[in-house]
Amino acid sequence: MNLSIPAKNRLIFALDVPNRKEAESYVRLLGNTVGCFKVGLELFVKEGPDVLKVVKQNSSASIFLDLKLHDIPATVGSALRSAATHGVRFITVHGSDGGSALKTATEVKGLGLEVLAVTVLTSVSESQLGGLGYKEGLSLRQLVLDRANIAKESGCAGVVCAGEEVSLIKKECSNDFKAVVPGIRPAWAEIEKDDQSRIVTPKEAILNGADLIVVGRPIRDAKDPGEAASKIVEEIGLALTA
């Protein structure tokens, strides 16, 4: 476990909201509690790159641009260089291309942008692999591990993976290889129509070795989002000293 990252800086809040106005309200509310804000497809497509200024102008938190890029290497490389000009710290690229596009991560290493490979979405379960065209007998964990190894060899800073897979990835790829974990569900959270299959609590993710965790709905939909974020930071802190 990497103990050098403070509890607050390990929490990424997902700005999974439909417009700039709502995004700004959450940034103002949580800017002193979380270490990073995630801007995903919904918000980025609606508002464009200007929405990144909402984070920079209203907090000192870093930005995680979660676009899950999946295209030919030249296009991905150009997109990464463009993202670097916006002061983004993290950006995601799909890890399913066998490494060709992932290797463009080396092109932005000196620009302050860390490329994270998405292994397998946390909404995917073991039982769905066959229907997605994967060969019989391939376990979800092995698929995740294979993609993590390719990402490491390609020069990525880390991966996005489920909490239950972190310890395997750290053992295989080194402790310095970042593991960013979505699908976080605190024990107290009540989520309606939850589409996540591979979930863990904040404590479980950190104890498994996660460097950062991504939390959206448990904070966004809480009666008091600020209090919910603070509770998660506290849980992270307790896990770090366990």
CB 236 within 8 A of CB 214: no
- From CA 20, how far away is CA 55, in angstroms rounded? 10
- From CA 6, how far away is CA 167, in angstroms rounded? 20
Catalytic residue from among 8, 21, 53, 68: 68
DSSP string of 78-134, one letter each residue: HHHHHHHTTT-SEEEEES-STTTTGGGGGGGGGGT-EEEEE-S-TT--GGGTGGGTP
CA neighbours within 13 Å on the CB side: how many for 130?
Answer: 3
68 is catalytic: yes
CB proximity list for 27: less than 8 A, separation 6 or greater: 15, 37, 54, 55, 58, 59, 61
Which residues are part of the catalytic machinery?
Answer: 68
